[in-house]
Amino acid sequence: MSATLTLVRGDITRQSADAIVNAANSSLLGGGGVDGAIHRRGGPAILEECRRLRASRYGEGLPTGRAVATTAGDLDARWVIHTVGPVFSREEDRSALLASCYRESLRVADGLGARTVAFPAVSTGVYGWPMEDAARIAVETVRDAETAVEEIRFVLFDEQAYAAFAARLR
Ligand code: AR6
């Protein structure tokens, strides 16, 4: 059975879901955008676990396109799944890496037994990916994914992002 795709405009840190996906960077040590918001609202437990992951498994950083889970701290979720989106490039087609973020996050979610997963629009902020193209890749990838997740929710911060995803879901 394939997952139901839903769309919400708002702040992902206010969502209730089994897993909330973070658009992280490979250091796993936080940053701005959605990453900063998740660590701020989720509290220090998330960063503590990220630091432990760095020390144990990801000394060189979490590679682009991969995903790893931690506690969700004080968020209304059981896990945060951190994924590292690619920086957009006009010279190089990195869309396979962006697709990988969604696929790998769902694979991690499946390993945890998560049934509802909330995604932000990975790579569309600081990393510069054009929203329409990012929405196409996100929706196509999760539609094609083999997953036991029942609801995949895209949480879009602004109207333009919401409209881009809505156009793809139609
Ligand atoms: N809820 C939902 N979406 C949000 C929120 C929020 N609270 N805040 C921002 N967005 P970005 P990236 C949207 O920059 O492009 C960080 O510093 C935002 O409008 O958070 O993958 C990391 O540490 C945009 O559409 O992530 C990395 O260094 C989308 O989330 C780097 O940024 C993603 O924007 C990752 O860049």
pLDDT single digits (tens) 37-63: 999 999 999 999 999 999 999 999 999
**In the structure, what pLDDT confidence band is assigned to residue 2 with cuts at 50, 70 and 90?**
confident
The values of phi and psi at residue 116, to 5°, are -125, 130
**In the structure, what pLDDT confidence band is assigned to residue 108 with cuts at 50, 70 and 90?**
very high
Closest residue by Cα to atom 5, ligand 1, is 34
Residues above pLDDT 70, as percent of the chain:
99
Query: Could you tell me how many residues make up the chain?
Result: 170
The Cα angle at residue 68 between residues 43 and 124, in degrees rounded to 5: 80
Q: Pseudo-torsion of CA 96, 39, 13, 74, nearest 10°?
A: 130
35 among known catalytic residues: yes
126, burial (CB in 10 Å: exposed 0-12, middle 13-18, buried 19+): middle
**In the structure, what pLDDT confidence band is assigned to residue 170 with cuts at 50, 70 and 90?**
confident
Cβ of 79: how many Cβ atoms within 10 Å? 22
**In the structure, what pLDDT confidence band is assigned to residue 1 with cuts at 50, 70 and 90?**
low
SS3 85: coil
- Looking at the CA of residue 158, tell me the nearest atom of ligand 1: 19
Residues above pLDDT 90, as percent of the chain:
98
Closest residue by Cα to atom 34, ligand 1, is 125
Q: Is the CB of 124 under 6 A from ligand 1?
A: yes
Q: Is the CB of 22 under 6 A from ligand 1?
A: no
Asked whether the beta carbons of 109 and 19 are under 8 A apart, the reply is: yes
Q: Rounded to whole angstroms, how far apart are CA atoms 146 and 21?
A: 18
**Residue 40: its pLDDT value, please?**
98
Q: Is the CB of 131 under 6 A from ligand 1?
A: no
CA of residue 155 to ligand 1 center, whole Å? 11
Q: Which residue out of 35, 76, 93, 158 is catalytically annotated? A: 35
- Stretch 2-17: mean pLDDT: 96
Q: Is the CB of 37 under 6 A from ligand 1?
A: yes
- Stretch 148-156: mean pLDDT: 98
**pTM of the complete model:** 0.98
Q: Is the model's pLDDT at 169 over the cut of 70?
A: yes
Q: Is the model's pLDDT at 12 over the cut of 90?
A: yes
Q: Rounded to whole angstroms, how far apart are CA atoms 136 and 120?
A: 14
Q: Is the CB of 49 under 6 A from ligand 1?
A: no
